[in-house]
Structure 1
Amino acid sequence: MRKLVYGMNLSLDGYIAAPGDDFGWSEPSDELFQWWLEQEQAIGLFLYGRKLWETMSSYWPTGDQQPGATPAEVEFARNWRDTPKVVFSSTVGEAGWNTRVVTGDAVEEITRLKAGEGEPMRVGGATLGGAAMRAGLVDEYEIVTHPVLVGGGTPFFAAMAGQVKLDLVETRTFPGGVVLTRYAVRATA
């Protein structure tokens, strides 16, 4: 069975985007960007909701060709293009860069993908991540908290029907007061 990871940059008050889809507060340091690159390189399949897909696909297909791209950004862009991706959307028509579009039930498809063998998968986007959380499909949370309160926007966590017990797996501090907390979902007996 494949592991499903849900992780993103968050404000201290729990948002992945501020009002107006503003991500400017989450600019990563070089060290944090390198950490994200290493996490992405360990993933065998990216699962995106439409909004995150549009954000990622607007830059990373040519991110390695941008003026001033760092070696880590070049590597990130290449990894992004090469890694298989699934976009869950009823409005995205075609998607390039090793991507297929699923218009049907996202939870059903993620459940099917998890049942297979292979490298870990990463779910991205608040709506898709929330659906995976509510369905009990997330195995690990990678929460990168930035020291800013944005006061609203797109929340990382979805409303849940009940508690989910977690075990702390890792903590790490990055420049600028950014803190990683990584949790595994506790196995139930």
Structure 2
Amino acid sequence: MRPLRYSINTTLDGCCHHEAGIPPNEESMSYWTAEMERADALLFGRVTYEMMESAWRKPATGGWPGWMEEWEIPFAEAIDRAKKHVVSSTLTEVDWNAELVTGDLEQAVRRLKQEPGGGLWVGGVTLPLALADLGLIDEYEFVVQPVLAGRGPTLLAGLRERIQLELVDRQEFRSGAIALRYRPAESAD
């Protein structure tokens, strides 16, 4: 069974709005590129899918836009070519190397996890909350930015039950950000 990893940038006070942290730099984009390349497929909710597509889909011209820094291109290429699964009750079709996930969320994600491969990656806010509540996330990866946002959507707000985690890896960035990777702790019954 391939694991499902939830990855997101967050501020020290738990804000996970994509503009709340420090701007991406060459080091952080290299880290996220490696994370994209580790995943067999990406799992998005509609909002995250549309946001990522508008930012990272390769234009029809075949070249990357002029605003994109050279160090952003490997990430753009990795996410552009990745297989994507989109959970939505409002979309009727998707493209950008994506397929629509319909029906019962738990059953659909369990099926995806049973496919061969090294892992699935999920980002965003709403879908990961539902997946955490269902006990489907095998790994949590938070890149904690050295910022206090003071407002905005917070990490896993509304989680039904507490999830005890065990730290399995950490990486510090020159910016002061820290990538923390956790797995759900085994229950001590």
Asked if these proteins are the same fold (TM beyond 0.5), I'd say yes
Which residue of the partner structure matches residue 28 of structure 1?
24
Distance 1:154 1:93 in 2: 27
The corresponding residue for 2:33 is: 37
Cα distance between partner residues in 2 of 1:59 and 1:181: 25
Q: Give the 5 Å matches for 1:52-67.
A: 52-62=48-58, 65-67=64-66
| 1:82 lines up with 2:81 in the alignment | yes
Are the aligned partners of 1:130 and 1:157 in contact in 2 as well (CA < 8 Å)? yes
State how far apart, in whole Å, the 2-side matches of 1:91 and 1:98 are.
19
Which residue does the alignment assign to 1:101?
100
C-alpha distance in structure 2 between counterparts of 1:7 and 1:113, whole Å: 18
- Contact 2:9–2:143 (CA under 8 A) maintained in structure 1: yes
CA contact (8 A) 1:37 1:72 kept: no
Give the RMSD, CA atoms, in angstroms: 2.0
Matched-pair contact (CA < 8 Å) for 2:21–2:146: no
Residues 30-39 or 65-74, more deviating: 65-74
Between structures 1 and 2, the one with greater helix share: 1
Report SS of the residue matched to 2:172.
Answer: strand
Alpha-carbon distance in structure 1 between the residues aligned to 2:141 and 2:125 = 14
Alpha-carbon offset, residue 59 of structure 1: 1.6
Unaligned runs of 5+ in 1: none
Q: Distance in 1 between matches of 2:175 and 2:88?
A: 35
Quick one: distance in 2 between partners of 1:168 and 1:102?
Answer: 31
Work out the percentage of aligned pairs sharing the same amino acid.
35
- After TM superposition, give the deviation of residue 188 of structure 1 in Å: 4.2
Unaligned runs of 5+ in 2: none
Amino acid at match of 1:14: G
TM-score (norm 2): 0.88
Residue aligning to 1:136? 135
Q: TM-score, normalised by structure 1?
A: 0.88
* Deviation string, structure 1 residues 125-173 (Cα, Å, up to 9, x no partner): 1110001100111111110111112222222224334332222111121
Count, aligned residues: 185
Q: How many Å separate the matches in 1 of 2:72 and 2:95?
A: 20
